[in-house]
Chain A
């Protein structure tokens, strides 16, 4: 219940590290911009859970269209661009990262102008991994055709139940297979030591990121999903470099300090909830405030936990990359997903789980095949399903969702009495 006179609890205290985050991200974009303007380094476009370490090790600056897609969503501009992509034959039912990104490109607009870019950095090569979805191949193919540059793909089997040595070998072989084409564009030979170094840095960064996320196991949590969704930037775009490692050391130290001083992510933490599915980028801030007002901390999420590739091992860079990128949540069978979710829900001691069914992202909507009911039967942890979308606000009813979220928290409250 909310009294009109209640003290405003939606005032969230920002993490101090946000300034360092900005500096780290600014540095990344500055390097990309320099490469785009001077040609001092080649530019590879890469999917967010693609072979970033390999590309960094070969001297590429790496650009991630998904990061750009999220920027369009968070900037509340996706619905301005999606219709243009649709007019060019891309269905409004497919990935709205793709449609907003291609739409913005066709309109010659990008939020990167704030970082001094006149347009997105032109690729010299595009490299994808289908471990997350098949859309990335079509998405990158659009740009490969447009810029007339090579496109390379790693094809990972979907719905992996048993991560067999054959699967790992197949993916590892594909890593090897794309190297000659990468060498041609990079203008340099592949160097195993550079790759080892990049994989080592990626491992270090991922372990630090995992430690950051695991700080939310503390009661009360010093960080919530809405912070993590922003602070994950470096692990997505600078994985395999020292920049991500340095940033997460700073963030981790701040969270440790918060725990010492008993500073929580939300002013009052009565309920701890797990977020399954994509962020609703265009409502990130209002949802953060809503949950804070409801004394609720979203302590963990599949999305943020997806960038923990702690299987990476510089001693076996190819095999461990293949293992790490085929082991991630999105590419696993529902049975494995259930086990991972159950484990995370226990680890973070959550009272409830919210499934965001994203209209245009089937692979990140895990409530479509009854998983939510099976998990409820197993754990007894109540769940809520919200219909929305990662980027397309036309698929989301804010009022209806607020009512559902408020009711869900009331439901948890009633059951705790």
Chain B
């Protein structure tokens, strides 16, 4: 029977189905919106159409305890580290760029979290920073990546604050900077913010929604740290890690007849 891992993040809720061999079989992602339970229900219903999976589900992220289905909650950073360790089986540094948080995690050779650090209470350098700027510039993530490839030189975005960064960008456009060069500057400002979290002393693994949607950022990380990698499905790793962390849980309950009587399926 499959097991379901859910990473209920500030922007997106990610779900993965994990088979008996601990492989990620399928994944699905929805916007978290204002109700984590609704987001979780959408994912559960989506998988229910094709698969049979057990309860409890294994959760992490901001909404990890905000769902009505039986759950076991986990620390997101520990879950993410567990998943990354499952792939590489060695010590590494992880930079995870999510919707509201950028996290640095140092994983030791035993797969344990040696050290971690999260961004300050500020959205600069996170997915929200990029989303807001993209919205204001009216550019999609795909266009963002394409534009960055056309950049001929980097411009420096200095503002920590998203609102001021936009004013700064508007000023640059006024002064003749090209959009590709500005976009490259935005990517680099995110990278520089992440480097503030800690010294990188190891193989660097980039994860999270932002590198998944903006793969260019991974190649830019490589310029500073050639030994950089971003695994496939990187935004789903924490959800997968939740299941891996709970491997010792043997007795899987069958699916309850209707775990969400008041929600209704397909909501």
B113 touches A414 (CB 8 A): yes
B59 CB, min distance to chain A CBs, angstroms: 10
Kindly state the separation between the CA atoms of A400 and B73 in the bound complex, as whole angstroms: 16
Residues in A neighbouring B114, C-beta threshold 8 A: 382
Q: Which A residues are CB-close (under 8 A) to B77?
A: 403, 407, 410
Identify which of A1-9, A173-181, A241-249, A282-290 touches chain B. A1-9
* B contacts with A, residue count (CB < 8 A): 25
Partner of B73, one of A1, A388, A397, A399: A1
B70 contact from A2, A4, A404, A407, Cβ within 8 A: A4
CB neighbours of A64 from chain B (8 A): none
Binds A, one of B39-47, B117-125, B183-191, B251-259: B117-125
Set of chain A residues within 8 Å of B115, measured between Cβ atoms? 382
**B10 to chain A: closest residue by CB:** A399
In the complex, whether B28 has a CB less than 8 A from a CB of chain A is no
Beyond A387-B121, A400-B121, A403-B62, whether A1 also contacts B74 by CB under 8 A is yes
* B121 pairs with A395, CB closer than 8 A: yes
Interface code A387-417, partner B: CB below 8 Å = 1, 0 otherwise? 1100000011101100110111011001100
**B72 CB to nearest chain A CB (Å):** 6
Cα-based distance from A382 to B71 in the complex (angstroms): 29
Indicate whether B205 reaches chain A with its CB closer than 8 angstroms.
Answer: no
Q: How far is the CB of B135 from chain A (nearest CB, A)?
A: 22
Task: Flag if B101 contacts A410 (CB, 8 Å).
Answer: no
Q: Which residue in chain B gives the minimum CB-CB distance to A382?
A: B115
| Inter-chain contacts of B65 with A (CB < 8 A) | 2, 4
Contact indicator A2/B73 (Cβ below 8 Å): yes
Q: Tell me how far the C-beta of A365 lies from the nearest C-beta in chain B, rounded to whole angstroms.
A: 12
The answer for the CA separation of A404 and B117 in the assembled complex, in Å, is 8
Closest CB in chain A relative to B34 CB, distance in Å: 14
Q: Among A4, A400, A408, point to the contact of B71 (Cβ < 8 A).
A: A4
Interface flags for B71-97 (1: CB within 8 Å of A; 0: not) read 111111110000000000000000000
| C-alpha spacing A397/B75, complex, angstroms | 17
| Cα-based distance from A396 to B101 in the complex (angstroms) | 14
Contacts of B72 in A (CB 8 A): 1-4
| A1-B245, A410-B75 known; A397 vs B121 contact (CB < 8 Å) | yes
Q: Cβ of B75 and Cβ of A406 under 8 Å apart? A: yes
Q: Which residue of chain B has its CB nearest to the CB of A389?
A: B121
Let me know if B121 and A404 touch, CB within 8 A. Answer: no
A396 closest partner in B (C-beta): B121
Q: Which of A4, A388, A396, A404 has the most CB of B within 10 A?
A: A4
B120 touches A407 (CB 8 A): no
Whether A411 and B121, one on each chain, are in contact in the complex, defined by CB atoms closer than 8 angstroms, is: no
Q: Is A295 an interface residue (CB 8 A)?
A: no
Name which of A382, A388, A403 has the most chain B CB atoms within 10 A of its CB.
A403
How far does the alpha carbon of A4 sit from the alpha carbon of B116 in the complex, in Å? 26
Residue A385 at the B interface, CB < 8 A? Answer: yes
**B113 in complex: contacting residue of A4, A385, A407, CB < 8 Å:** A407
Q: What distance in Å separates the Cβ of B45 from its nearest Cβ neighbour in chain A?
A: 20
Instruction: Please determine whether B75 and A403 come into contact, CB atoms closer than 8 angstroms.
Output: yes
Q: A395, A400, A404, A407 — which one has the most chain B CB atoms within 10 A of its CB?
A: A407
A345-394 with Cβ < 8 A to chain B: 382, 385, 387-388
Question: How many chain A residues touch B (Cβ–Cβ < 8 Å)?
Answer: 22
Contact with A along B224-253 (1 / 0, CB 8 A): 000000000000000000000110000000
CB-based nearest A residue for B199: A373
Looking at the complex, which one of A382, A395, A399, A411 makes contact with B78 (CB distance below 8 Å)? A411
Decide if B100 is an interface residue (CB 8 Å cutoff).
yes
Q: B112 contacts the other chain (Cβ, under 8 Å)?
A: yes
Contacts of B70 in A (CB 8 A): 4
Q: Which residue of B lies closest to A388 (CB)?
A: B121
CB distance from B88 to the nearest CB of A (A): 17
Pick the contact of A410 from B71, B78, B100, B120 — CB < 8 Å?
Answer: B78
A414 touches B71 (CB 8 A): no
* Closest chain A residue to B111, Cβ basis: A414
A407 to B76, CA, bound (A): 8
Q: How far is the CB of A129 from chain B (nearest CB, A)?
A: 32
Residue of A1, A382, A396 contacting most chain B CB atoms (<10 Å)? A1
A403 to B56, CA, bound (A): 21
Measured in the bound complex, the distance between the Cα atoms of B75 and A230 in whole Å is: 30
Which residues of the other chain, A, contact B118 by a CB distance below 8 angstroms? 400, 403-404
- Determine if B112 and A399 form an interchain contact, defined as CB atoms under 8 angstroms apart: no
Inter-chain contacts of B78 with A (CB < 8 A): 407, 410-411, 414
Of B62, B112, B117, which one neighbours A385 at CB under 8 angstroms?
B117
Question: Who on chain B is nearest to A359 by CB?
Answer: B121
By a CB distance below 8 angstroms, the chain A residues around B117 are: 385
Chain A residues with CB under 8 Å of B71's CB are 4
Nearest-CB distance from A280 to chain B (Å)?
Answer: 13
The chain B residue sitting closest to A376, CB to CB, is B115
Docked-complex contact B121 and A415, CB < 8 angstroms: no
Please name all residues of chain A whose beta carbon is closer than 8 Å to the beta carbon of B120 when the two chains form the complex. 387
* B contact residues around A395 at 8 Å (CB): 121
Q: Which residue of A lies closest to B78 (CB)?
A: A410
- Residues in A whose Cβ lies below 8 Å from that of B56: 3-4
Interface residues of chain A, those whose CB is within 8 Å of chain B, are 1-4, 382, 385, 387-388, 395-397, 399-400, 403-404, 406-408, 410-411, 414-415
Return 15 A-B CB contacts under 8 Å, by A number.
A3-B56, A4-B72, A387-B120, A400-B100, A403-B62, A403-B101, A404-B116, A404-B118, A406-B75, A407-B76, A410-B75, A410-B78, A411-B113, A411-B116, A414-B112
Chain B residues in the interface with A (C-beta under 8 A): 56, 62, 65, 70-78, 100-101, 112-118, 120-121, 245-246
7 new A-B contacts at CB < 8 Å, known A4-B71, A407-B78, A414-B78: A1-B245, A4-B72, A387-B120, A400-B101, A407-B76, A407-B116, A414-B112
4 tightest Cβ-Cβ pairs between the two chains A and B: A397-B121, A410-B75, A407-B75, A407-B77
